[in-house]
Amino acid sequence: MQFKDIIGQVDVKHQLIHMIQQNRLSHALLFLGKEGSGALSLARAFTQYLVCEKINGKSLNTHSDFDLFADESNEAKENNGDKNDSCGICSACIKSAKMIHPDIHYSYPVISRKSGDKPISTDFINEWRTFIDSNPYGNSYDWLQSIGAENKQGNITVHECGDINRKLSLKSFESTYKFLIMWMPELLGLQGNRLLKLIEEPPPNTVFIFVAENDQHILQTILSRTQLIKIPLLKRIDIEAALELREGIAVQKADQIARVSEGNYHEALQQLQHADNDWEILLREWLNSILKTGPVAQVKWIEDISKIGREKQKQFFKYFIHLLQDAIKLNMISIENQESAAISTSNDFAIRLNKLCNINQQEAIIKELDAASYHIERNANAKLLFHALTIKLYHIISNNAVILVN
């Protein structure tokens, strides 16, 4: 994994490279980023950069005097100079990309396959490589389902901590340095205290990288020993470009998905699974049935949407909520700026919603949509739910409406 393979995050990439070139790197790092931000991919690209033979100006097959934590006069810094990514073609890069480099270790949540099991990450290494290769922006739920967890809770076990201590006590095999990338340390319970001495006084040339989504759930004793690297949510334009270039999505559909995903590329890919649905047309039909065409059209619309499945229904709610939030933001600016904003995004739906109802009404609708999504997720009867929601929206909007038709 190279930095160029990662969507957006230009500032973070520059920060990481600058840290290395200026020799300001800690022995323990925390990559903190929400789901879909690419934190794990950044950690992988970071370690590949550090082991890359060409970046370091020499083969790392033998130990050298290159010091990752040395002062700025280090010869390796001079060799690194203008290099902003790993080469991707040397032996170390190829092994790192395939996750088979002997000095880059991974730790992640696992489950017991049978009663009495003492699972460690290495037991699932083949599944891990397959999962990350096909789902670099996957979340912990996706990972656990891929190994058959079903309703089991994944965690990083006390036996895993023992295995980490064992691995990192060994000398490195090929690189001067050895690395541990721990994904989802939030699932590391009190057994994580077994790692404290190792983190605080690591063996020579050892780097820990914790990749987390929520620092509130990480052991404070571990948190206090790490250097924080914040990974922001992705910019909408970066998600839109990635969908167009990587997934071959049309510009208008990519824009629609990028708007709803809110900086989360994992969510964007989930939306893409339902890309054959034009949410805007579906929403227009619903609002017109509520405000113009009446009960017969409402019943037909409810019958149709009840058949599309719960995941698609939740995506539809999310799309509608996002449009309402855009409408509220646009309500705060002038009419001229509203129309300019609509043209710039090729979508005037938010302005039409502002003609349909005021901010208080929009907030009331958002509240109802949130509640409906909650109940759909918990297996509510879709027909009854959409019938009730249709009636509620009619009363919220009342008859003071502009029909959303071209």
The closest of 76, 83, 104, 81 to 3, measured between CA atoms, is 83
Chain mean position to CA 42:
12
Is beta strand 178-183 parallel, antiparallel or unpaired with respect to 104-107? parallel
Write the pLDDT tens digit of every residue in 290-323. Answer: 888 888 999 999 999 998 877 778 878 888 888 8
Q: Max Cα separation, the chain?
A: 79
Asked if pLDDT for residue 177 goes beyond 80, the answer is yes
Coil, helix or strand at residue 66: coil
Which token pair is 239?
């998600």
Confidence band, pLDDT 50/70/90 cuts, at residue 337: low
**Is the pLDDT assigned to residue 331 strictly greater than 60?**
yes
By mean pLDDT, which of 75-79, 176-180, 220-224, 295-299 is the weakest?
75-79
Residue 100 CB burial class (10 angstroms; 0-12, 13-18, ≥19): exposed
> What is the model's pLDDT at position 248?
87
**Non-local CB neighbours of 284 within 8 Å, separated by 6+ positions:** 404, 405
Cα–Cα distance list, 293 to 176, 214, 300, 365 (Å): 72, 47, 11, 20
CB-based contacts of 278, cutoff 8 Å, min separation 6: none
Model confidence at 131, in pLDDT bands (50, 70, 90)?
very high
User: What angle separates helix 279-288 from helix 295-306, to the nearest 10 degrees?
Assistant: 150
Tokens of 174: 């090929």
Under CATH, what is the fold of the domain 3-232? Answer: Rossmann fold (3.40.50)
For residue 35, the SS3 value is: coil
pLDDT above 60: residue 240: yes
User: In the chain, what are the domain boundaries?
Assistant: 3-232, 237-272, 279-397
Contacts of residue 348, Cβ cutoff 8 Å, sequence gap at least 6: 339, 342
- Tell me the per-residue pLDDT of 75-130, one tens digit each, with 9 for 90 and over: 444 444 447 889 888 999 999 999 999 999 999 999 888 777 888 999 999 999 99
Q: State how far the alpha carbon of 270 is from the alpha carbons of 138, 166, 257, 317, in Å.
A: 10, 39, 9, 14
Residue given tokens 């969510």 in the structure block? 267
For residue 301, give both structure tokens.
């619309």
* Residue 249 confidence class, pLDDT cut points 50, 70, 90: confident
> What's the confidence (pLDDT) of residue 32?
94
Tell me, what DSSP letter sits at residue 155? B
Question: What is the predicted pLDDT for the residue at 231?
Answer: 94
Q: Which pair of tokens denotes residue 368? A: 């109802």
Please state, rounded to an integer, the average pLDDT across all residues of the chain.
82
Reported as half-sphere exposure (CB side, CA atoms, 13 A), residue 114 has a value of 0
Give the residue-averaged pLDDT of 354-375.
Answer: 88
pLDDT at residue 73, as a whole number? 42
Mean pLDDT of 256-270: 84
pLDDT tens column, 6-57: 999 999 999 999 888 888 878 899 999 999 999 999 999 999 999 998 887 6
For tokens 């409402």, the residue is 298
Mean pLDDT score, 358-363: 86
pLDDT on residue 279: 78
The angle at the Cα of 68, spanning 4 to 35, to the nearest 5 degrees, equals 40
Whole-angstrom distance, CA of residue 251 vs CA of residue 239 = 11
Q: Measure the CA–CA gap between 175 and 167, rounded to whole angstroms.
A: 15
